[in-house]
Amino acid sequence: MPHKAGRLIGISLLGATGVVIAVVAAGLGFRAYRQHLAAETLAIHSPMGVQEGSFVDVGGIRQWVQIRGEDRNNPVLLFVHGGPGGTTLPITSGWRRWEKQFTVVQWDQRGTGRTYGAAGDALAPTMTLERMTRDGLELTEYLRAHLHKDRIILVGHSWGSFLGIHMAKQRPELFYAYVGTGQVVGRTTFEKAFELTIARLQTRAASTGNSEALAELAPVAARPTMTQENRLIAEKWSSVLALPPADRLQPAGLIPPLFMPDFSLLDWYYWRKGDAFSKKYLTGRDGPMFQHDMASIGFEFSIPMFFFEGDADGVTPGGPAEQYFNQIRAPHKEFVWIRGGDHFIPFNRPDEFLAELAARVRPFAGN
């Protein structure tokens, strides 16, 4: 009898395993089908178009670069992603209209996505602002030669805005203009974000009638400095009160990220690994964004400067960016508030972002 019971259990387990395998196979098959349809939707067929992705030797390692556009005669736009470590490859189908007016370049930075996958943790000693700035400038030189352009337009988002503005400062002759969005200016950016977080926690505590939270948050709100004690209080009540993220990434593109063509499950693995890896070296109190203030590189820029900021950005609030921008001296500069925009306006509101690029920035590219 025990032998028969064991056989029945074995058969049941085998059957259950078979069902799991069948479900997984069906899911992968459906994903492959959706990716095939997405590839057709996103394909560039114009005779002057460009659609390529490859590893490029930059900074002594192989770094992944994607280039897409309807017309090679259009200006080149290099998008420097945030995170740090946040590859934008799977979330940019909403940029399809951008590719009609620009040749759009996406770059998996050192420690990010496919670039991280190719090199792994051996990159750790090189994860510095200085090295990554040189990477960006080397990549720009490559793009100028590869796409036959004298200059390009530089757009930096969040961490990428901090990296990008250093690129623009060091080698302005490579760029038609600089555009920062979710612009980080240093410690003041994160101090303002912390102040807003405490205010949100107080609002949530009041709405739930949590008097203990209100009592503990009150002295922090009175002086919302980012001390270790205050940060621990904020983390505690963010967890207890289930405070949702200040801003949500909700890509507006036609293709859900899971079905983005030419982005494998292994790519998703490297995306997660690279994101955690990059943050380990580039964020926090010891990271360059907290330790370096933008005032240290000065206020003189020899190219047009633009900041596109969401007035509802809770991750990198626009106030400190506006204060820094007001001190900038440049041949041309414009600060643009995107009303109701959060931290992710290039992805959540790509058409509005494109309209600003086309009207304000593209004319400086001369074509």
Q: What is the pLDDT of residues 252-282, one digit of tens each?
A: 988 999 999 999 999 999 999 999 999 999 9
Beta bridge partners of 300: 329
**The Cα angle at residue 104 between residues 103 and 109, in degrees rounded to 5:** 140
Residues near 109 by beta carbon (within 8 Å), at least 6 away in sequence: 63, 80, 81, 84, 85, 115, 132, 135, 136, 163, 278
Task: pLDDT band for 239, please (50, 70, 90 cuts).
Answer: very high
Q: Which helix (H) or strand (E) holds 191?
A: helix 187-208
Q: Which fold has domain 50-188+251-365?
A: Rossmann fold (3.40.50)
Residue 165's nearest CA partner among 7, 295, 356, 25 is 295
Residue 360 has a pLDDT of: 98
Mean pLDDT of 153-182: 98
Mean pLDDT of the chain: 93
pLDDT, position 305:
98
Task: Find residue 53's DSSP bridge partners.
Answer: 66
Nearest to 279, CA basis, from 105, 90, 112, 70 = 112
With a cut of 80, say whether residue 326 has pLDDT above it.
yes
pTM over 0.85: yes
For residue 158, give Cα distances in angstroms to 116, 127, 200, 206. Answer: 20, 17, 21, 31
Q: Tell me the average pLDDT across 43-72.
A: 97
Q: Is 183 exposed, middle or buried (0-12, 13-18, 19+ CB in 10 A)?
A: buried
Contact 63, 108 (CB under 8 A): yes
pLDDT tens, position by position, 76-114: 999 999 999 999 999 999 999 999 999 999 999 999 999
